[in-house]
Amino acid sequence: MVRRHLDSLVDEGFASPSDRAPFGPVSRPGRGRPAKVYSLTSSGRDAFDQAYDDVALGALRFLAERHGPDAVLEFARHRAADLERRYVPRMAGITDSDSRVALLAEALTDDGFAATITRSSTDTADQLCQHHCPVAHVAEEFPQFCEAETEVIGRLLGSHVTRLATIGHGDGVCTTLVPRTALVARTTPSAGRTAS
């Protein structure tokens, strides 16, 4: 039944199937049909509520034209600081890296990012995957939003993280590589960041 719904989404152009995960092979089941990974297409993402994209893009273009790309980055960081401010209490006191990454994925999912975690087979890193981006159309033109979000993920996890792919860049999933190291517990948002 699930396969039928997925096939319908593919037929309508809202999803696309692949034999490979965004990074690495799809795990193969012992029996049954070969495993597939489904990603939303641009049309599929358009089906989500993104009615304010034109206004947001117009405002950001105006900001960039009048004050330059650094002003856009400052605004993106200000917006991302709100996520950080809200997530810090949720993660306070949790020092175990697996638990912190899981809590972050849960918080992002609650905010509409549809986040999952892919564990590496080598136990050296995890991939935090966001299957939806509420600001995808804005991020296509202004990657500063992806940069600011990546900075917040790194601060929340207390680790240097690397963004491998973004929906705004045309990838099917936003993927952040999180090293499996001892993460630092954060209890307050980063100093110098403005939270709204």
Angstrom distance (rounded) from CA 81 to CA 194: 6
**What is the average pLDDT across 6-23?**
75
Q: Would the pLDDT of 139 be above 80?
A: yes
Q: What pLDDT, in 10s, does the model give residues 100-127?
A: 999 999 999 999 999 999 887 777 889 9
- Residue spans per domain, the chain: 2-41, 53-179
Task: Give the residue ranges of DSSP H helices in 20-165.
Answer: 42-46, 53-67, 69-91, 97-110, 136-141, 144-157
**180 neighbors 120 (Cβ within 8 angstroms):** yes
Residues whose CB falls within 8 Å of the CB of residue 163, separated by 6 or more in sequence, listed in order: 146, 150, 174, 175, 176, 177
In which element (H, E) is residue 91 found? helix 69-91
Instruction: Say what the pTM is.
Output: 0.68
Q: Would the pLDDT of 4 be above 90?
A: no
Q: How far is CA 161 from the centre of its chain?
A: 12
CATH label, 53-179, candidates 1.10.10.10, 3.90.1520.10, 3.10.129.10, 3.40.640.10: 3.90.1520.10
Angstrom distance (rounded) from CA 75 to CA 144: 9
* Structure-token pair, residue 130: 């966001």
Q: What pLDDT, in 10s, does the model give residues 56-87?
A: 888 999 999 999 999 999 999 999 999 999 99
Say what the pLDDT of residue 184 is: 47
Say what the pLDDT of residue 14 is: 78
DSSP code, position 185: P
Say what the pLDDT of residue 182 is: 47
Q: Would the pLDDT of 25 be above 80?
A: no
* Structure-token pair, residue 131: 């299957």
**Checking DSSP bridges between strand 162-165 and strand 37-40, what pairing results, if any?**
unpaired
Say what the pLDDT of residue 18 is: 76
